[in-house]
Amino acid sequence: MPIMCSVQLPEGKTQEQIEKALADVASVLMKDFCAEANQVRVMIDELPRNRYIAGGVMAYDMPDFNGKGE
């Protein structure tokens, strides 16, 4: 039976960052659950900044999520 994992994050990450995160998460799942590579599915959903809110603030108004607070 496959092991499935979904990660949600703000849009705007580079392709390299996404690929590394996918590989890292898959590696941990394989190690921790003694699973083969073909048993693990990892998916990243990038969320547009106008589609979610945290603490009453839209994501596009959050400096830390827009790279302005880094």
Q: Which domain CATH number covers 57? A: 3.30.429.10
- Residue 1: per-residue pLDDT: 77
pTM over 0.85: no
Q: Is 52 exposed, middle or buried (0-12, 13-18, 19+ CB in 10 A)?
A: middle
Q: Dihedral, CA atoms, 19, 22, 25, 30, nearest 10 degrees?
A: -110
- Residue 70: per-residue pLDDT: 43
Domain presence at residue 10 = yes
Residues 2-41 have pLDDT tens digits of 899 999 988 889 999 999 999 999 999 999 999 999 999 9
Domain presence at residue 34 = yes
Domain presence at residue 54 = yes
**Domain membership of residue 45 as a residue range:** 3-65
CA distance 70 to 27: 28
Domain presence at residue 58 = yes
Structure-token match 């994992």, residue found:
5
CA distance 62 to 68: 9
Domain presence at residue 70 = no
Domain presence at residue 16 = yes
Number of domains present in the structure of the chain: 1
The sign one gets for the Cα dihedral 67, 60, 6, 41 is negative
- Residue 54: per-residue pLDDT: 85
